């Protein structure tokens, strides 16, 4: 036929005619190139004729996207190993791992690690004796370590430790006692004995101790003990007589 490519037979022409294509319409690329260019017999892309394939391809691209992003994200560094000494004290007092990690991080800043750990054991044991929650005591000490206010090895002095434990001094008063005694140097032992004698039977030993420390800090001398204070040692010491007892004794003597 004139105007038709060679190799097209009547069946091809009849099929195309049945599809409504006008006779003599030019073919895109010819029949021979349809397969290699991904075109069908009507000159349209194969993907356009297969919506299911397009949906599958879009889903595959969507799944691949996050995986590629995840591989690009930097991985978090592994946590620092916990020092065995930190593990031991946390395990002994039931401290959770998260707080144990905080303690481990804080202790890395300390120069006297071993001495500080001994002090921490003493403080935790004392807290347990006073029915304090171990986690609360530990959090306070971690904060002190980070702030640089932790008592540390100064509490290992047996005289200061025994005195502080005997009168159950709070952290603030204990800090003040240690600070004052460090200034007193070779007078420390005698000062502690004198303070122990004066506040031994006091109803409010902490308040009296503050007064004595103030005197040592201001002029290096301990203020005189109050007249009402009864000391536990020494001959001839007795509790001051109550006013009503003195009045009764006076009336008895007048009657006699």
> In the chain, what are the domain boundaries?
80-156, 157-226
Band of the pLDDT at 171, cuts 50, 70, 90?
A: confident
Residue 149, pLDDT above cutoff 80: yes
Lowest mean pLDDT among 19-28, 111-120, 243-252: 19-28
Residue with the two structure tokens 């031991």 = 88
Mean pLDDT on 106-111 = 92
Residue with the two structure tokens 């073919």 = 27
Lowest mean pLDDT among 171-175, 185-189, 248-252: 248-252
The DSSP symbol for 17 reads: H
Closest to 179 measured CA to CA, from 170, 166, 188: 188
pLDDT for res 189: 93
pLDDT for res 80: 76
What CA–CA distances, in Å, run from 243 to 136, 229, 247, 250? Answer: 47, 16, 6, 11
> Would you call 15 helix, strand, or coil by DSSP?
helix
> Do 47 and 53 contact (CB within 8 A), yes or no?
yes
| Mean per-residue pLDDT of the chain | 74
Query: Within 19-94, where are the H helices?
Result: 51-72, 84-92
Residue 29, pLDDT above cutoff 50: no
């Amino acid at each position: 036929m004139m105007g038709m490519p060679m190799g097209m037979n009547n069946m091809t022409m009849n099929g195309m005619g049945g599809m409504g294509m006008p006779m003599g319409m030019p073919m895109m690329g010819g029949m021979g190139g349809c397969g290699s260019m991904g075109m069908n017999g009507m000159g349209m892309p194969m993907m356009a004729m297969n919506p299911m394939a397009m949906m599958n391809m879009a889903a595959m691209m969507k799944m691949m996207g996050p995986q590629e992003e995840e591989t690009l994200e930097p991985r978090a560094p592994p946590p620092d190993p916990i020092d065995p000494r930190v593990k031991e004290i946390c395990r002994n007092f039931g401290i959770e791992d998260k707080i144990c990690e905080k303690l481990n991080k804080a202790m890395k800043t300390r120069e006297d690690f071993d001495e500080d750990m001994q002090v921490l054991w003493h403080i935790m044991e004392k807290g347990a004796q006073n029915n304090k929650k171990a986690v609360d005591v530990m959090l306070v000490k971690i904060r002190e370590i980070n702030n640089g206010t932790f008592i540390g090895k100064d509490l290992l002095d047996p005289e200061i430790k025994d005195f502080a434990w005997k009168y159950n001094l709070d952290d603030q008063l204990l800090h003040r006692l240690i600070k004052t005694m460090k200034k007193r140097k070779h007078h420390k032992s005698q000062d502690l004995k004198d303070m122990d004698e004066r506040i031994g039977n006091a109803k409010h030993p902490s308040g009296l101790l503050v007064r004595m420390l103030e005197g040592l800090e201001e002029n290096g001398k301990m203020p005189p003990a109050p007249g009402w204070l009864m000391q536990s040692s020494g001959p001839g010491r007795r509790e001051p007589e109550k006013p009503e007892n003195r009045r009764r004794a006076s009336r008895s003597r007048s009657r006699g």
